[in-house]
Amino acid sequence: MKSWKKRLKSELDAIVPAQPANVRCDRAKSSSANTFSRRPALWISAVAAVLVLAVALPFVLPVGQTASACVTVELNPKVAFVTEKGVVSDSVALNEDADIVLNYDRLYEKLLGLPIDEAVTLFVDYSARLGFVDMDDVATLRVSGGDGESLATVANSLNEYFQKKGVYAVVAENVTDADGLASILGESLKNFFNDTARQSPFISQRQAEGLSEQQLQSYYQSHYLYGEVKNTVRLLVSHFLDELGDIASSAIAHLEELANYISDEVFDRVGETLVQLISLVWPDASALQDLVHIPQSLQEFAQKVTDFLNVQVQMRLQFYGEMYQTVREAISDADFDAFVQNIVAQYGSANDYWQNANN
C-alpha cells in the first residue's frame, strides 16, 4: 500500500475506531435500524473519497487550469488564450500565421489583462488588418473552450465587430472538453498549461527550443532560408516586377523566371542581390538581407525569426491595407441575423458550416 494511502487509512481509523470483535450486527433488527447502522460506513466512504480526490486531482490538472480557462480561435491564424476569471493571462500562437498577428505592434503584450471577448476581437481585428480576413467575403471562424457562457460573450463581441465593419460573418461556438481542446492545441491541456509559462508566444521560436547548434542551423536553412525567406523574396520580385524592370530592364525575362521558381542553389547565389534590388523599390525589404545568413545561436535564431515576422507584417500591410481601410456600410441586426439563420438552415449549424468551409 502506498504511503499516502497508509496515512489516509490510519487517520480515518483514528477518527472512527475499529469496531470491537465482540460487537456483532443483529440482522434481525428493523430496516430502519439497519439503515442507521450502515451510515457510519457510508460517511467514512464519503470522507475517503473526498480525501482521495484532494490528493489525486492536483496531479491530474492544476486548480483553475481546466477547459474553461482556455479559449482557442481558428481563423487561419490559430491562437490559444489562457484566462484567469475571464481575463487573458497568456496568448500562444498555434500556427505561423498567428505568429505574424501576435508580433504585429507587439499585440501579444496588448492582449494581457483584457477580458477574453475584447482580446479575441482585437486579435481578429489585427488579423483583418494583415489580410487574414477577406473583408469583401464571408468571414468564418471558430472559437472553442469549456465555458459556454464565455464563448457566447466572445461570439456576440465578434458579431458586433463584423456588423460595424460591414462584413457578414459566421462565428461557430464550439463548447468542448479537455480532449476536444487537446485536438486543437496538438497536445494535452495539462501539457499546454505547464508549457505556456516558459514558452515564447511564437510557435516559430518554440519549435527551435532544445535543438543543438547544428540542428538549429539545419532547421533554419530548410524552413526559413529555402522556405519562408526564399518564397517571400520570390513574391516580392513578382509584386514589384514592373518597378524592378525600370531599374534592370535587361534582366526582366530572368526576373520573371525567378518570380515563378528559384532553386535553393540559385537562391544561395542571388538571394542577397535580389533583396538589394527589391529594397530600392521597397525599403522595408532591407531587413531580409540579414535573413539570408544562417544563425549561429538560439538567440540569433530568435532575432531572425522576429525580423522575418516584422517583414511579413509590413508586406501584408502594404498588400492588404487598402482592403481593410475601405469604408463599408454597417449591417443591420435584422440583416445579419437573417444571414446567419440562412446559414444554419442550409448547413445545420454554424459549427457544421465552419467544418464544411475548412475541409
User: From CA 108, how far away is CA 129, in angstroms rounded?
Assistant: 16
Total count of residues recorded for the chain: 359
Residue 17's pLDDT is what?
37
Residue 252's pLDDT is what?
57
Q: And the C-alpha cell for 272?
A: 542577397
Residue 262's pLDDT is what?
79
Residue 15's pLDDT is what?
32
User: From CA 154, how far away is CA 189, in angstroms rounded?
Assistant: 21
Residue 246's pLDDT is what?
52
Q: Which of 159, 154, 192, 175 is nearest to 68 (CA)?
A: 175
Identify the burial level of 103 via C-beta atoms within 10 angstroms of its C-beta, where 0-12 means exposed, 13-18 middle and 19 or more buried. Answer: buried
User: From CA 85, how far away is CA 234, in angstroms rounded?
Assistant: 46
- Residues with Cβ within 8 Å of 355's Cβ and at least 6 positions away in sequence, in order, are none
Q: Which amino acid is at 298?
A: L
Per domain, the residue ranges of the chain are: 3-60, 67-202, 208-325
Residue 236's pLDDT is what?
86
Containing H/E element for 225? Answer: none
Residue 42's pLDDT is what?
44
CA atoms within 13 A on the CB side of 321: 8
User: From CA 261, how far away is CA 233, in angstroms rounded?
Assistant: 11
User: From CA 321, how far away is CA 328, in angstroms rounded?
Assistant: 14
The pTM of the full predicted model, rounded to 2 decimals, is 0.78
Whether residue 126 contacts residue 101, with contact meaning beta carbons closer than 8 Å, is answered with yes
Residue 52's pLDDT is what?
36
User: From CA 94, how far away is CA 222, in angstroms rounded?
Assistant: 20
User: From CA 97, how far away is CA 358, in angstroms rounded?
Assistant: 16
Whether residue 72 contacts residue 146, with contact meaning beta carbons closer than 8 Å, is answered with no
Q: And the C-alpha cell for 45?
A: 466512504
CA atoms within 13 A on the CB side of 119: 30
Q: And the C-alpha cell for 8?
A: 489516509
Residue 150's pLDDT is what?
96
Going residue by residue through the chain (359 aa), what tens digit of pLDDT does each one get?
Answer: 444 333 333 332 333 333 333 333 333 333 333 433 344 444 444 443 333 333 333 334 454 568 889 999 999 999 999 999 999 999 999 999 999 999 999 999 999 999 999 999 999 999 999 999 999 999 999 999 999 999 999 999 999 999 999 999 999 999 999 999 999 999 999 999 887 555 689 999 888 888 999 999 999 999 999 999 999 988 888 877 765 555 555 555 666 666 667 789 888 888 888 888 888 878 888 889 899 999 999 999 999 999 999 999 999 999 999 999 999 999 999 999 999 999 999 999 999 999 999 98
